Amino acid sequence: MSLTEKYSIKNPTVTLYAFHLRTDLAKEKRDDAGLLWENLTELIERLSAPNALKLSSKLLCYRNGQYDPSQEEGKSTAWLELTHPRELTFSGQDFSGSVYPLRLHDTYAADLTFSCKDKEIEVSQLSRLNPGACLMPSHIRASLGQTLLLYAEPTDGEIDSRILADECLKALLQDSNETLPPFVRESRLFGSPIFEYEDCTYEPLERRHILVWLSKNPQTAESANKAYNDLMTLFCCRNKILFAFHQSRDSNRDARRLYMRLEEQIGKLDLKADPPERLKLMESLLAEMPPDEILYALHLRNLNDHRTTIRANIQNYETSFEKIRALTLTDDDLKFFDEFLDLARKIFLSQIRTDLNFLAPGQHLSQQIIANIRGIVEIDTLRQLKENEESGSKRQERLEILVSVIVAVLSGATLSATVVPKAFGEEISHIASVFLHLLFAGVLTGMSVLLIVLIFQHLWRK
């Protein structure tokens, strides 16, 4: 007999608190804003019987079966209930169920609860409240993450609470092929022990955050009901803080890659190169660096936004925490809440501050380098234009000289060809005179052309 078969519990309830981002700074309505409701609608229709509940048809943000949040406009979103009545109920084969959909500012939140109230069951039967591991993050796909709370009453007060909590977790996840999330800490809330298990990842679709709360005090359930809104808000803030830090790791990674690329681009600078080669290199860098600088600035802005998100949600978390603290009993231990606040303040905010301190000088350096390169390119371009103008002026002068020489030589050749035959006197015949005229003209013209070519080569090489 396994331990799960040996132990039993009463009135078990499994509650999924799922949180999905509806809006962000870039968009009033994200493209996947309705994904949480679509997945929950499909899950409830599959599990509820005999009359399936179609959740989307009851939601304020749906019209004619399509996601349409226009009816949310003009309403306060601090705590906006998306169904009327506020809680919808349904029945499954082995449990009763309810769903409570909300909008909390920029976030959709859902409380999906499966319970076996007024029943005593063996711990091994807890998988009936999570059939096929349907409540795991990979199925729900809430963008910000989720928290799964198992609440139950032990039937045997002599059982070690930690052992019972471990066995309940194993039974709850026995339909899953995944390993169990590690144990994190034990606390005491409203007079009863609560055990926390969580995967070591910040990826929302991979992080399983599960609480096992074993009620050993008659005041536990009553105080939990009074603190419901604050517990929901606290879980929401917790998941948003983790999600913001997860995004900050992506922004930091991408910014560091661009920083390394900037280092490579700086290494390409060769100010001692010949002006034409240097100008070509500088123009290439000017084409590459500004787009990288824009992306770099974008990642730094995102890091600042994530830090702001974490700070805002730490404040909201603290506000809800103080209201919960006011309901606690003298023997309660709230390190379950305190340690997460320490994690957010001392690790998350500190890490982002370190990232920004490292990366911010790179943005300033990039701007300086681009400005310097532009200056060098302008100087080299002006120098090249000046050299081209000077070279063109010299060629113009040479051409004018060449034209003058050609005119002079050809004029001399023509004159010589006319005068030379007369030097033989009038004794020669007319035919001979013509022959000599042509002979001398051809020879002198050929010599003139040769001379022109030699002069042209000499002038153009200068």
Residue 253 maps to a domain: yes
Domain that includes residue 95, residue range: 3-221
Q: What is the separation of C-alpha 229 from the centre of its chain, rounded to a whole number of angstroms? A: 31
Query: Is pLDDT at 448 greater than 60 in this prediction?
Result: no
Choose one of 388, 416, 450: the last residue of a domain. 388
Task: Select the more confidently predicted residue: 417 or 306.
Answer: 306
Backbone angles phi, psi at 80, to 5 degrees: -100, 115
Q: Give 333's DSSP letter.
A: B
158/264 same-domain check: no
376/406 same-domain check: no
Average pLDDT over every residue of 249-254: 96
Residue 425 maps to a domain: yes
> What's the total number of domains in the chain?
3
118/215 same-domain check: yes
376/403 same-domain check: no
147-166 pLDDT, tens per residue?
999 999 999 888 899 999 99
Q: How confident is residue 69, by pLDDT bands cut at 50, 70 and 90? A: very high
379/405 same-domain check: no
Task: Select the more confidently predicted residue: 279 or 436.
Answer: 279
How many angstroms separate the CA atoms of 211 and 196, rounded?
5
384/400 same-domain check: no
98/144 same-domain check: yes
Please name the amino acid found at residue 4. T
Residues 223, 326 contacting (CB under 8 angstroms): no
202/275 same-domain check: no
Query: Is pLDDT at 446 greater than 60 in this prediction?
Result: no
Residue 117: what pLDDT? Answer: 78
Residues 195, 219 contacting (CB under 8 angstroms): no
Mean pLDDT across the chain, nearest whole number? Answer: 83
372-383 pLDDT, tens per residue?
555 555 555 656
Please name the amino acid found at residue 453. V
How many angstroms separate the CA atoms of 125 and 127, rounded?
5
Residue 25: what pLDDT? Answer: 75
Sorted by sequence, the CB contacts under 8 Å of residue 47 that are 6+ apart come out as: 92, 93, 97, 131, 134
* Distance between start and end Cα atoms, the chain: 106
333/201 same-domain check: no
Choose one of 388, 403, 427: the last residue of a domain. 388
Q: How confident is residue 417, by pLDDT bands cut at 50, 70 and 90? A: very low
Choose one of 221, 253, 272: the last residue of a domain. 221
Residue 234 maps to a domain: no
Residue 355 maps to a domain: yes
Residue 67 maps to a domain: yes
Residues 182, 197 contacting (CB under 8 angstroms): yes
Q: How confident is residue 457, by pLDDT bands cut at 50, 70 and 90? A: low
380/246 same-domain check: yes
348/401 same-domain check: no
